[in-house]
Structure 1
């Protein structure tokens, strides 16, 4: 009798645990502000097609989203992390430590980081190194590293307008910020022979030297709301805004993108890699939640569908630049098979 009562009690506890584990009846995705509008649109279409509860999509920045995603398994943590850069080795290790073991990495398309101005503002054609020279905390002047001295863009280069240096961009928690630092600031610094030698000799020292943004008001961390940056540069003469290409697409009647190395930010230039500030976008899926969170597999399937991320899909209309057909097919295969990603190298 005691054994029977014990078995019944165990079954009851397991049932309660299962109910707690599956208490959330909707998909939850959190992370990149750049991926946010794409994920929101997919959520709308998924809900219409399936009749299931609309997913919860949060814009926290890539770093914030991955941190929450890696907090653990179960209904208290997101099923998906939206990311505008690859997951870092340190983040992957944090996931593993918290019991988030099988992570599926799916690339959804491309994006470019745009340096934009108000439609009525001056035209900018930056050399990549000028982004570093004008916006980093330490910069080169006369061949020497100095605290940022430049106040106007024409001091950085005679090809640039006589306009004060003022740029609004993403905060450190943002994947856009990470990509901006890597592609724009570090990429620009590496074009200069003095800093290229430093990078070759000691990459950690190079990054620590060139990566911090200026702190005298020439660069402003403007939060995760890229639409707010668009509004700010409209109201602030000659100010620059740094954000994802999709926001330029959405606001093309109000703002314009600067050229980098003579290349305008267009879908074709970004997809080909010709535009220097091009990057890939991702979603990371918690495989342990498939079959637990209702609709998770269907949501991921919708995300990689031809209708969404394929050429001519509804996300292309929102500014997402599609993957080449072979890569897109490979991502559809991943969404079906859900293979766990290997540990990142760095």
Structure 2
């Protein structure tokens, strides 16, 4: 089913690119989508270039399309809410997409959001792991069992008797990847019950090295790449938590509020200083072979990396992007302007 959906997305993207051969075509992250779309609209409104076509395919889906080749029926730029993976870089290289430039445009906090009418919820990352993992420690902590928890107070008596439900992104999403990295992997790697299994048989138990298997019994509900749909579900399900980027929380603050993580809510300040632990960088990737073939690419890249867009008082920060420190903005602006080549060793840093 997943392959059919991705094939349909690929056909749609190819059709749109064919129709818009004189336009920049951008795919990828639903989290970066609002910022990329804003820059695209500004480029179309203030220059001679056509407004770029921006599609929300998810970070993983965008990488598949971007790395498919250099043909003009492939995207020029892909947005991502997590860094390109080594295996994606390898696929790009195999398909002739040899020269790629990586740009970081800002920070984002992954929000665990709920209806504003629901009592506040404060969680730890371990409690989040115990709520979403397919396998969790037994009460003695000596072995793993299928996740038995369906109410928060079953995990910790200090939490409310409230049904555990997550509306979250699908596996194609960079937000899903980042959520798993920052909660499940970050916690499981410090828990002997997981790591001992890996050490006992590294080949057979490889998944326990960086454990991130999400339960599939209906507690975690994959809800597509349209984060606004998750917002709508939260207004109808008072128990549920939704997982998406901070900008969607900020945009809908009249209807939803954040659960806190160790007492800290996502905010620009908490993300910038690292006190909010579910934080990540936002990226876009440039296909250099298209730079001289698609009008406006240089201008779009310059606009997106400008202080006007991603500075402390930039237009994108007004709609939820969290600004990088000034020296980092300057670094990535230079990197984008010079089209610095991404190298495989960069992805290990």
Give the alignment partner of residue 38 of structure 1, picking from 21, 35, 38.
Answer: 35
Matches within 5 A, 1:249-264: 249-264=250-265
Aligned to 2:7: none
Given the superposition, is the C-alpha separation of residues 105 and 22 from structure 1 closer, same or farther in structure 2, using an over 3 Å criterion?
farther
8 Å CA contact 1:129–1:191 kept in 2: the answer is: no
Aligned to 2:317: 316
Matches within 5 A, 1:332-343: 332-343=333-344
Aligned to 2:208: 206
In the alignment, the residues of structure 1 paired with residue 281 and residue 207 of structure 2 have an alpha-carbon distance, to the nearest angstrom, of 27
Given the superposition, is the C-alpha separation of residues 40 and 151 from structure 1 closer, same or farther in structure 2, using an over 3 Å criterion?
same
Matches within 5 A, 1:288-303: 288-303=289-304
Q: Does 1:101 align with 2:98?
A: yes
Give the alignment partner of residue 53 of structure 1, picking from 50, 53, 72.
Answer: 50
Aligned to 1:73: 70
Report the Cα offset of residue 101 of structure 1.
Answer: 0.8
Given the superposition, is the C-alpha separation of residues 22 and 133 from structure 1 closer, same or farther in structure 2, using an over 3 Å criterion?
closer
Matches within 5 A, 1:133-144: 133-142=130-139, 143=141, 144=143
Given the superposition, is the C-alpha separation of residues 23 and 256 from structure 1 closer, same or farther in structure 2, using an over 3 Å criterion?
closer
Give unmatched runs, 5+ long, in structure 2. 1-16
Given the superposition, is the C-alpha separation of residues 307 and 247 from structure 1 closer, same or farther in structure 2, using an over 3 Å criterion?
same
Report the Cα offset of residue 69 of structure 1.
Answer: 0.4
Q: Deviation per CA, 1:83-114, whole angstroms, max 9, x where unpaired?
A: 00110111001111111111000000000111
8 Å CA contact 2:189–2:209 kept in 1: the answer is: no
Q: Deviation per CA, 1:30-54, whole angstroms, max 9, x where unpaired?
A: 0000000110000011111213111
Report the Cα offset of residue 185 of structure 1.
Answer: 1.7
Report the Cα offset of residue 135 of structure 1.
Answer: 1.1
Instruction: State the secondary structure of the residue aligned to 2:315.
Output: coil
Q: Does 1:132 align with 2:129?
A: yes
Paired residues, number: 326
Matches within 5 A, 1:109-258: 109-142=106-139, 143=141, 144-195=143-194, 204-207=206-209, 210-258=211-259
8 Å CA contact 1:164–1:238 kept in 2: the answer is: yes
Aligned to 1:6: none
Report the Cα offset of residue 141 of structure 1.
Answer: 2.3
Q: Does 1:345 align with 2:342?
A: no
Instruction: State the secondary structure of the residue aligned to 1:112.
Output: strand
In the alignment, the residues of structure 2 paired with residue 260 and residue 199 of structure 1 have an alpha-carbon distance, to the nearest angstrom, of 28
Instruction: State the secondary structure of the residue aligned to 1:59.
Output: coil
Given the superposition, is the C-alpha separation of residues 250 and 311 from structure 1 closer, same or farther in structure 2, using an over 3 Å criterion?
same
Report the Cα offset of residue 247 of structure 1.
Answer: 0.5
Report the Cα offset of residue 304 of structure 1.
Answer: 0.1
Report the Cα offset of residue 74 of structure 1.
Answer: 2.9
User: What value does the CA root-mean-square deviation take over the aligned residues?
Assistant: 2.0
8 Å CA contact 1:129–1:192 kept in 2: the answer is: no
Report the Cα offset of residue 75 of structure 1.
Answer: 1.6
Report the Cα offset of residue 335 of structure 1.
Answer: 1.8
In the alignment, the residues of structure 2 paired with residue 207 and residue 35 of structure 1 have an alpha-carbon distance, to the nearest angstrom, of 30
8 Å CA contact 1:122–1:161 kept in 2: the answer is: no
Q: Deviation per CA, 1:194-244, whole angstroms, max 9, x where unpaired?
A: 335557775933257x31111111110011110000000110121110111
Q: Deviation per CA, 1:127-161, whole angstroms, max 9, x where unpaired?
A: 11000101111111211311010110011112221
Report the Cα offset of residue 336 of structure 1.
Answer: 1.3
Q: Deviation per CA, 1:276-308, whole angstroms, max 9, x where unpaired?
A: 110000000011111210000100111000000
Moved more, 151-160 or 105-114: 151-160
In the alignment, the residues of structure 2 paired with residue 205 and residue 66 of structure 1 have an alpha-carbon distance, to the nearest angstrom, of 23
